[in-house]
């Protein structure tokens, strides 16, 4: 095992908390034999994006005059309804994007092209742009059917809603399957599993492999959880003391902390 570590590349990318979270989820799948159905999350995300588009651009159907569709309301001078539809579309975009990100943090993209990786990971932001851009174009163009005052109000609301939707849709900690595979390989070397018992404190951000760790001596809030629960509960970092001790116990040349410590 030590020889394998010595032959590893000198410069190894440190895993992020997102890499660890996805690895823990996939470890759980492997050990339980139950695969998490992220396809459902992705389908729901697309349905919500479609509903966001409907909130923006619902056309008039027959003789109906539904108060829905921001663009229709804009041309009808229905200020409040237009603004409400914009906000509804923004909320739907954010919810859809968070579901997409959640799916990505369980089963990340296997794409190797950096551009395609970016598109896949930040699809929520791109979809928000696609949904809101046509209305922006309409507002820029000269159109006598739109009241100038209403146009300014809607433009301001559109800018705020789009920026909020884009910020809420972004994946600030994207991961890829290659990065997760690296973590899975390392956890296998150290004998770490998703259901391995680790110890966390209520306010700490690290997890500990040993209950008698010196860092836990003065804490009254120590809880025993699985590695999966620790990572999902924002205790992604590995305790330095436990890492050194675990490396010694495992008899490997690279410490657990060096292998699994999330990147800053």
Residue 157, pLDDT score:
95
List of residues 6+ apart from 187 with CB closer than 8 A = 23, 27, 193, 260
pTM above 0.85, yes or no: no
Residue 257, pLDDT score:
45
Share of the chain above pLDDT 90, in %: 34
Residue 7, pLDDT score:
35
* 172 and 125 Cβ atoms separated by less than 8 Å: no
Residue 13, pLDDT score:
56
Ranges of residues in the chain with a pLDDT under 70 are 1-17, 31, 60-67, 183, 185-195, 236, 243, 246-264
pLDDT in tens, 70-104: 998 888 888 899 999 999 999 999 999 999 999 99
Q: Calculate the alpha carbon distances from 76 to 134, 136, 149, 159 in Å.
A: 18, 17, 13, 21
CA distance 147 to 96: 32
Residue 170, pLDDT score:
96
CA distance 135 to 132: 6
240 token code pair: 């330095």
* Secondary structure (3-state) at 21: helix
* 102 and 25 Cβ atoms separated by less than 8 Å: no
Residue 115, pLDDT score:
94
Residue 135, pLDDT score:
93
CA distance 158 to 255: 51
CA distance 151 to 142: 10
């Amino acid at each position: 095992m030590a020889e394998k570590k010595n032959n590893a590349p000198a410069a190894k990318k440190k895993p992020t908390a997102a890499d660890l979270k996805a690895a823990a989820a996939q470890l759980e799948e492997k050990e339980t034999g139950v695969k998490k159905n992220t396809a459902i999350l992705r389908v729901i995300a697309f349905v919500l994006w479609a509903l966001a588009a409907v909130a923006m651009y619902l056309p008039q159907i027959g003789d109906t005059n539904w108060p829905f569709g921001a663009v229709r309301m804009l041309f009808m001078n229905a200020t409040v309804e237009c603004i409400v539809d914009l906000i509804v579309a923004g909320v739907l975009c954010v919810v859809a994007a968070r579901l997409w990100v959640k799916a990505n943090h369980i089963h990340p993209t296997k794409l190797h092209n950096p551009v395609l990786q970016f598109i896949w990971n930040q699809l929520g932001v791109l979809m928000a742009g696609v949904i809101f851009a046509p209305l922006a174009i309409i507002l820029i163009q000269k159109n006598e059917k739109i009241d100038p005052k209403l146009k300014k109000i809607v433009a301001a609301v559109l800018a705020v809603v789009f920026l909020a939707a884009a910020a809420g849709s972004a994946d600030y900690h994207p991961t890829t399957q290659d990065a997760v595979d690296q973590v899975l390989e390392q956890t296998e070397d150290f004998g770490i599993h998703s259901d391995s018992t680790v110890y966390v404190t209520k306010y700490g951000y690290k997890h500990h492999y040993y209950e008698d760790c010196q860092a836990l001596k003065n804490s009254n809030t120590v809880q025993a959880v699985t590695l999966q629960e620790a990572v999902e509960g924002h205790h992604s970092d590995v305790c330095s003391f436990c890492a050194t001790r675990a490396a010694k116990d495992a008899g490997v040349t690279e410490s657990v902390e060096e292998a699994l410590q999330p990147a800053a």
